[in-house]
């Protein structure tokens, strides 16, 4: 039963919301536009705020549902383990030729299930860094690193610490191309309402 739960978690994570929203709602393959990434940020840039919001919420839901599977089925699997497997599914989705997103929203969904207050703290950090830098990628990585350091310094929850460090590693690794673009000052910044970028 444990293996089945982890398989379901992976399959949940593999649902490519960006691909589905692009093809069903707009008739395009999001992988052929923008950065080609199957995530909320690329969807925002290519298809707009409505589509991007749907994708982010869908990707978060994958993580939340996967983390909740052990509770629903009374299986001795830690929710963070199931959630982490879903994040792997999001990054390497079987339904999209193993070409997925960058782990941010799905990781956030896992944290939301396990520790809602911690999740709200991370959202605040993300928004502050985004307001200062206007880089979504930098904000994602900074939030992940903050979460990792926080768990070391301020919590004795070993499973949470291990999971956060793993997820933060995923996020930074998946953003390695963004790091190069930030360094070279070629990474696109978000545009605020009114046209200010």
- The boundaries of the domain holding residue 80 are 2-183
User: What are the pLDDT tens digits along the chain (197 aa)?
Assistant: 899 999 999 999 999 999 999 999 999 999 999 888 899 999 999 999 999 999 999 999 999 999 999 999 989 999 999 999 999 999 999 999 999 999 999 999 999 999 999 999 999 999 999 999 999 999 999 999 999 999 999 999 999 999 999 999 999 999 999 999 999 999 988 876 555 44
H runs (alpha helix) in the chain: 2-13, 17-20, 40-47, 49-73, 79-91, 104-114, 116-133, 136-154, 158-174, 176-183
* Cα 98 from Cα 93, distance rounded (Å): 4
Quick check: 81 and 38 in contact, CB under 8 A?
Answer: no
Is 136 contained in some domain? yes
Number of domains in the chain: 1
Is 193 contained in some domain? no
CA distances from 160 to 52, 65, 141, 154 (A): 28, 17, 18, 11
Does pTM top 0.75 for this prediction? yes
* Cα 5 from Cα 196, distance rounded (Å): 46
Is 54 contained in some domain? yes
Is 194 contained in some domain? no
* Cα 35 from Cα 25, distance rounded (Å): 19
46: left (phi over 0), alpha (psi -120 to 50) or beta: alpha
Quick check: 110 and 163 in contact, CB under 8 A?
Answer: yes
Is 132 contained in some domain? yes
Is 119 contained in some domain? yes
Q: What is the pLDDT of residue 194?
A: 52
* Cα 140 from Cα 131, distance rounded (Å): 12
Is 188 contained in some domain? no
Q: What is the pLDDT of residue 197?
A: 46
Residue appearing with tokens 């200062």? 132
Is 191 contained in some domain? no
Residues 6+ apart with CB under 8 A from 39: 18, 55, 59, 100, 101, 102, 104, 105
Choose among 131, 135, 115: nearest CA to 180.
Answer: 135
Alpha-carbon Rg for the chain in angstroms: 16
């Amino acid at each position: 039963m444990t293996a089945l739960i982890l398989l379901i978690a992976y399959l949940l994570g593999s649902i490519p919301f960006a691909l589905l929203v692009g093809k069903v709602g707009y008739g395009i393959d999001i992988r052929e536009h923008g950065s080609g990434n199957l995530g909320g940020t690329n969807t925002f840039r290519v298809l707009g705020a409505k589509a991007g919001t749907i994708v982010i919420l869908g990707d978060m839901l994958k993580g939340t549902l996967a983390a909740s599977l052990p509770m629903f089925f009374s299986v001795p699997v830690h929710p963070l383990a199931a959630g982490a497997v879903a994040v792997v599914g999001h990054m390497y989705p079987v339904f999209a030729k193993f070409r997925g997103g960058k782990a941010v929203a799905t990781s956030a969904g896992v944290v939301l299930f396990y520790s809602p207050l911690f999740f709200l703290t991370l959202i605040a950090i993300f928004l502050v860094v985004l307001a200062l830098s206007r880089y979504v990628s930098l904000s994602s990585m900074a939030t992940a690193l903050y979460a990792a350091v926080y768990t070391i310094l301020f919590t004795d929850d070993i499973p949470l610490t291990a999971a956060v460090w793993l997820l933060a590693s995923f996020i930074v690794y998946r953003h390695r191309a963004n790091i190069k673009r930030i360094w070279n000052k070629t990474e696109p910044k978000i545009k605020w309402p009114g046209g200010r970028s």
